[in-house]
C-alpha cells in the first residue's frame, strides 16, 4: 500500500494551516526551529519528501491557538544529519513538553 509524504502506512503528518517558511539550508532551518520551539510552539510532525514533493518539512503545532499548525521546509539537507537531529533535539523537546523522563533501555 502506498504511503503519504514518506510516512509508513497508518501514520500521517499534520496538515498545516499556513504557507511554509522556506530555508536555503538545513542549518538555517535548524537554527530557526530551535529558536521557535517554546511554550507556544511545539515541533511535532515532519516528513521527508520524494521526487514528487522534495525537501524536508518540520511542522509546529500551536496548542494555545486551537492546535493550528505551521511549518518550515528546506530542499537542501542530508537525511542522516536531519534524522540524528530529530532523534536528539526533537525527542528532547517533546519529552520536556510532556514531562517525560528518559529511562535506560533494558
Q: Which three cell numbers stand for residue 62?
A: 500551536
- Count helices and strands (H / E) in the chain: 3, 4
pTM above 0.95, yes or no: no
- Does 58 fall in a domain? yes
pLDDT surpasses 60 at 2: no
- Does 56 fall in a domain? yes
Per-residue pLDDT tens for 13-61?
A: 666 666 678 999 999 999 999 999 887 888 888 888 888 888 999 988 8
Which residues neighbour 68 within 8 Å (Cβ) at sequence distance 6 or greater?
A: 17, 18, 61, 62
Domain count, the chain: 1
**Mean of the per-residue pLDDT values for the chain?**
81
Distance CA 80, CA 38 (A): 25
- Does 87 fall in a domain? yes
Structural domain harbouring 78:
21-95
- Does 101 fall in a domain? no
Which residues neighbour 71 within 8 Å (Cβ) at sequence distance 6 or greater?
A: 16, 18, 20, 21, 57, 58, 59, 60
Amino acid at each position: 500500500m502506498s504511503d503519504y509524504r514518506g510516512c509508513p502506512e497508518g501514520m500521517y503528518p499534520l496538515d498545516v494551516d499556513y504557507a511554509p517558511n522556506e530555508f536555503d539550508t538545513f542549518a538555517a532551518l535548524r537554527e530557526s526551529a530551535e529558536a521557535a520551539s517554546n511554550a507556544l510552539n511545539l515541533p511535532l510532525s515532519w516528513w521527508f519528501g520524494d521526487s514528487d514533493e522534495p525537501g524536508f518539512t518540520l511542522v509546529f503545532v500551536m496548542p494555545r491557538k486551537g492546535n493550528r499548525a505551521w511549518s518550515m521546509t528546506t530542499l537542501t539537507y542530508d537525511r542522516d544529519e536531519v534524522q540524528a537531529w530529530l532523534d536528539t533535539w526533537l525527542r528532547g523537546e517533546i519529552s520536556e513538553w510532556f514531562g517525560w523522563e528518559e529511562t535506560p533501555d533494558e
